[in-house]
A and B are shown apart, each in its own frame.
Chain A
Amino acid sequence: MARIIVVTSGKGGVGKTTTSAALSTGLARHGYKTVVVDFDIGLRNLDLVMGCERRVVYDFINVINGEAGLNQALIKDKNTDNLFILPASQTRDKDALTPEGVDKVLTALSEEFDYIVCDSPAGIERGALMALYHADEAIITTNPEVSSVRDSDRILGILHSKSKRAEQNLEPIREHLLLTRYDANRVARDEMLDVKDVEDILAIPLLGVIPEDTDVLKASNQGIPVINIPESNAGLAYDDAVKRLLGEQCPMRFLDVPRKGIFQRLFGGQS
């Protein structure tokens, strides 16, 4: 039986797909057989970030409609063992994502995989509801700004009322706060909320803080999950988040403004 993890946010563009790619790669690198499923029907982003867009033949909707078998649609990742991608369809509309269809596919995946990571679309409509319905755990992807925090709060309410675990009165979904695009400089200037503010409002455990990092865009342009870019700050922070997800303790990094290097201290300084 797989553990189903939804990466969700309410608000768009906060880093769900980046996170789904990184976490699934991280889990696979730890030896867990992992599949990452793109629920963003009509947009199809995940396969780009994972660098497999040219290898997409069949997709999630084809499998739901019985036009292809699961094993025909699953794409094996080229760089990471144990990792598979189930891409979304670019051509269909999201109504093709039926509750029965999603249930059927996730049940089948559950038998083969240790982890199923669901990359949710933005919003609180059908696609997002489908992505979170079966979840055992939820990664609440949040940027340190008021509107994103508000939307995350709303999604948490939906997890509590519209998920399978809520409907069937099972043990509640395990919720994790993942702060992404955290810019310590802007936090220090009060242009963004700090970690404490967000934790205080959302009142769920913090899984990690991913710093704002230009490597993220570079990586996604090359079709490499950022966790695979050596020495990138965002990648290291995702590494830590995966460890915490697996129960390891490790201190938070990248929360403070980086100290100035020796040259900046000697020649730059604040004048």
Chain B
Amino acid sequence: MVTLMTLELYRYDEPMLAQQFQRLLAQAPRFFENRPVVVSLEHLHNPDSPVDLHRLKRLCADFGINLMAIRGGLSVHRENASEAGMAWLAAPPSTSDRKSTVQISQQEIPLAEVKEFSATPLHPDKPKPNSVAPQEQPATARVIDTPIRSGQQIYHNGDLIITAPVSVGAEVLATGHIHIYAPLRGRALAGIRGDSKARIYCTHFEPELVSIHGHYKTISKADCSDLWQKAIQIYMDGDSLKMTPMYLGPKE
């Protein structure tokens, strides 16, 4: 299984996109590291606007973003994609995902938004749209008792409960909540398919990055000294990401 990142494109404006990538990478330099990225055209404000996928691919490559497929779009986009050596994926059937995206775009009308979903391995030359669509099985919790090491990535559709350390350079993603009863030193991304009510709970807060529903924050000890190594929960409060100590019973 691989985790794909989706770049949700709302408008095709190269200079603005470049700016947005620059900002994103300044905050999280390794955001796209070694990650196949899918550009989604499903939410283009003007669906039949031309998108030069050759140029977009090159633009992305300049920022170390590895575009490998498009999702949605018209047949011209599809042809353009195959010329640019990219696969085409069918739009996922879920509507919940769509709703949340629209909400956000109404609020701030971003150019593009980064989302993540998981898929079975994908072959650019042999696109298998069905196998790539996110699985819509009923979400159940998954429990992991072994450490998640640097370079490893865990994705789960549902809640993720981890009882061993998540290392620097490791990444855990869940569509639901993430509980970590051990040090969180890597990245944790909860509610990744549109659940802004998802939370992250960890008993030992030392992460590189936390994210709820695509709202992420890179963390450093200097910025979070009062939370560092404590038991913390992270959740969305309106539009902002909140990080607060957990109540662990009366103080001694």
CA distance A200 to B146 in the complex (A): 14
Cβ contact within 8 Å between B164 and A150: no
B148 — which chain A residues lie within 8 A by C-beta? 157
* Interface band, chain A: 10 to 19
The majority secondary structure among interface residues of chain A is helix
Q: Are A160 and B150 in contact (CB under 8 A)?
A: no
Among B4-12, B29-37, B98-106, B165-173, which stretch is in contact with chain A? B165-173
Determine if B146 and A153 form an interchain contact, defined as CB atoms under 8 angstroms apart: no
Are the C-beta atoms of B168 and A157 separated by less than 8 Å? no
Q: How far is the CB of A138 from chain B (nearest CB, A)?
A: 13
Kindly state whether residue B152 has any CB partner on chain A within 8 Å. yes
Tell me, in angstroms, the Cα distance from A153 to B164 when the chains sit together: 13
Chain A residues lying within 8 Å of B185, measured Cβ to Cβ, are 201
Query: Could you say which residues of chain A place their CB within 8 Å of the CB of B170?
Result: 157
Asked if B146 contacts A154 (CB within 8 A), the reply is no
Residue pair B152, A201 in contact (C-beta under 8 Å): no
Shortest CB–CB separation between residue A198 and chain B, in angstroms?
A: 13
Chain A residues near B150 (CB, 8 Å)? 150, 153-154, 157
Give the distance in Å from the alpha carbon of A150 to the alpha carbon of B147 in the complex: 14
User: Contacts of B146 on A, CB cut-off 8 Å?
Assistant: 160, 172
Contact A203 B152 (CB under 8 A): no
**A-contacting residues, B106-160, CB 8 Å:** 146-152
Residues of B with C-beta under 8 A to A222: none
**Interface pair B152/A161, CB less than 8 Å apart:** yes
Report yes or no: A203 in contact with B165, Cβ–Cβ below 8 A.
yes
Bound-complex Cα distance A160 to B185 (A): 19
The residue of chain B having its C-beta at the shortest distance from the C-beta of A154 within the complex is B150
Report the nearest B residue to A124, measured CB to CB: B151
Contact string against B for A residues 151-166, beta-carbon threshold 8 Å, 1 for contact and 0 otherwise: 0011011101100000
Cα distance A158–B167 in the bound complex, in angstroms: 13
Identify the A interface with B (CB < 8 A): 150, 153-154, 156-158, 160-161, 172, 200-201, 203
Q: Can you pick out 5 interface pairs between chain A and chain B where the beta carbons lie within 8 Å of each other?
A: A153-B149, A153-B168, A156-B147, A160-B149, A203-B147
Q: Which positions in B face A, CB cutoff 8 Å? A: 146-152, 164-165, 167-170, 183, 185
